[in-house]
Amino acid sequence: EIVLTQSPDTLSLSPGERATLSCRASQSVSSSYLAWYQQKPGQAPRLLIYAASIRATGIPDRFSGSGSGTDFTLTISRLEPEDFAVYYCQQYGSSPMYTFGQGTKLEIK
Amino acid sequence: QITLKESGLTLVKPTQTLTLTCTFSGFSFTTSGVGVGWIRQPPGKALEWLALIYWNDDKRYSPSLKSRLTITKDTYQNQVVLTMTNLDPVDTATYYCAHRRAYSYAQLDHWGQGILVTVSS
């Protein structure tokens, strides 16, 4: 079973700053099957990025994804107030079909 | 426009069976490749995938919960039902259903609002 470890657990930044969130897999993951989600309090997760680097419909271009193999990154170029939330990476594999990371909380400094 | 909504009992006693229904619109199981999955999230914790069913009735389960889960679909009612047996307080969580796009990169691109299920005597 592939384990996804996200870092840091909490990231404190100010609006306008750049955020870099990491997702490391315990074994190699196909880039085609790595996604990122954003979750705000009391809301369902929202798909941001899939196939490691493709933005989902309606996602602003300040969000970008990169990486391959075991190391993947979500970057938010200039933080807007609405970007402060919890972010999860997710991989698709054989068993279990979907695995999520433990999440990174992006909070206002 | 794709929408999904979870429904079911929100308070269940330990050892009982939970039945949740996901009712959706904007897509159909008559479309080849479509899937609907269930994911849960205990309060303050991370997401955990539970099960997924495809248009062709292929079913996949989390290995750790497989013995307790059953997922079924009603193509004509546009519903997916998840049952979980032998509930325990640790199963207290918000349960989400989500749409998996046909022949995609396996992303879950639309989610229901979630339903909070509490397991308590």
For chains A and B, CB pairs below 8 A equal 69
Bridge partners (DSSP) listed for residue B19: B83
What's the pLDDT at A95? 74
For chain B, say whether A65 makes contact (Cβ under 8 Å). Answer: no
A98: which 2 tokens? 């979907």
What's the pLDDT at A93? 85
Average pLDDT over residues B10-25: 98
Chain B residues with CB inside 8 Å of A99's CB?
Answer: 49
A39: which 2 tokens? 């979750």
Residue in A35, A47, A97 nearest the CB of B49? A97
For chain B, say whether A5 makes contact (Cβ under 8 Å). Answer: no
Average pLDDT over residues B37-62: 97
Chain B residues with CB inside 8 Å of A44's CB?
Answer: 96, 111-114
For residue A32, what is the DSSP state? G
Closest residue, chain B, to A100 (C-alpha): B47
pLDDT, averaged in runs of 10, over chain A (109 residues)? 96 98 95 95 97 97 97 98 98 87 97
Q: How far is A24 from chain B (nearest CA, A)?
A: 16
> CA angle A22-A28-A30, nearest 5°?
90
Q: β-pairing, B115-119 with B11-12?
A: parallel
